[in-house]
Structure 1
Amino acid sequence: MSDINVVVLVGRLTRDSELKYTPSGYAICRFSIAVNRSKKQDEGWVDEPHYFDIEFYGKSAEGLSKYLLKGRQVAVQGELRQDRWEKDGQQRSKVVVVASTIRPLGSPPQGTDASNRRYAPDSVPAKPEPSNGQASIPPGVDEFTDDIPF
């Protein structure tokens, strides 16, 4: 039997996404989400937040990063990866979710300038970069810059 490594999370961004590039120009979008778990405490229910670091790569990450703002609810599908390193002679590790698909949910958070931006596509799957060297538009993103006509 083969191993399975799949994770699906729905939560809210704890901060605006951060877009960086490798020396070769490959885009890396990083952000964290909070996922609440309800648990019974005394006579009522309380939310217990859990925080997860997410990484998303490539042109899709570039296109979606401007829509990933603090407070925005997103659905993330991907896999877990454990990073390991040594610091000051101590072994350290961290588990991150490497996203294959990100779906923004609901409307942008209140109080942001996202209302002036075009809405993001329903979902953006990570796809390999085109090898012909030409930039491509992420799937589902239109080229027009006008407001949405409705």
Structure 2
Amino acid sequence: MTDINTVIVVGRLTRDAELKYTTTGTAVSHLSIAVNRSRKTGDQWTDEVSYFDVTLWGKSAESLQQYLIKGKQIAVEGELRQERWEKDGQKQSKVTINARNLQLLGGGSGGGGTGRPPQKQTGGYSPEASSEEGADYHEKFEDDIPF
């Protein structure tokens, strides 16, 4: 069996995406997302955040650039890549997500962006279209799941 390297994360952009081009003219966008998680420790809920660097390539990088602004919620499906380099004689490494698919989700920018006007969202997730109106999927439950 071959190895599997697939990851799916949903989070919010921590900064506006940065679009660059390789020497061969391929578009590459660098972005960073924050993924929040709540967990119960004893009687208290604690929030934890993980930050992930994401790389998006080609036409997707170019066409989505104007929408990838700080605070925007996105879903990313891709593979993990370990980048390695040497700095001042010390070996360094970092795990990043190489995006295969990126989807814009509900919610607007959290402020701080580049001053671009808000764009009308077409397609994708729409909170108004939810089949369970008023459902709170971020609800904190009192009891732990018994399994």
Aligned to 2:135: none
- CA deviation profile, 1:16-43 (whole Å, cap 9, x unmatched): 1111111221111111111111121342
Aligned runs of 1:10-89 on 2, under 5 Å?
10-89=10-89
Alpha-carbon distance in structure 1 between the residues aligned to 2:22 and 2:89: 27
Task: Work out whether residues 64 and 120 of structure 1, in 8 Å CA contact, stay in contact via their aligned partners in 2.
Answer: no
Aligned to 2:143: none
Number of matched pairs = 123
Alpha-carbon distance in structure 2 between the residues aligned to 1:84 and 1:51: 18
Alpha-carbon distance in structure 1 between the residues aligned to 2:108 and 2:33: 15
Aligned to 2:138: none
Closer, same or farther in 2 for the Cα pair 1:96/1:12, shift >3 Å?
A: same
- CA deviation profile, 1:80-107 (whole Å, cap 9, x unmatched): 0001111111111111000000001003
Alpha-carbon distance in structure 1 between the residues aligned to 2:95 and 2:102: 18
Aligned to 1:122: 124
Task: Work out whether residues 67 and 119 of structure 1, in 8 Å CA contact, stay in contact via their aligned partners in 2.
Answer: no
Aligned to 1:147: none
Alpha-carbon distance in structure 2 between the residues aligned to 1:110 and 1:50: 18
- CA deviation profile, 1:55-114 (whole Å, cap 9, x unmatched): 000011110011011111100000000011111111111110000000010032255655
What code does the residue aligned with 1:62 have? Answer: E
Closer, same or farther in 2 for the Cα pair 1:39/1:107, shift >3 Å?
A: closer
Task: Work out whether residues 54 and 99 of structure 1, in 8 Å CA contact, stay in contact via their aligned partners in 2.
Answer: yes
Identity level (%)? 53
Task: Work out whether residues 31 and 55 of structure 1, in 8 Å CA contact, stay in contact via their aligned partners in 2.
Answer: yes
Aligned to 1:6: 6
Task: Work out whether residues 9 and 76 of structure 2, in 8 Å CA contact, stay in contact via their aligned partners in 1.
Answer: yes
Cα RMSD of the aligned pairs, angstroms, is 2.0
Structure 1 residues without counterparts, runs of 5 or longer: 124-150
Alpha-carbon distance in structure 1 between the residues aligned to 2:36 and 2:117: 26
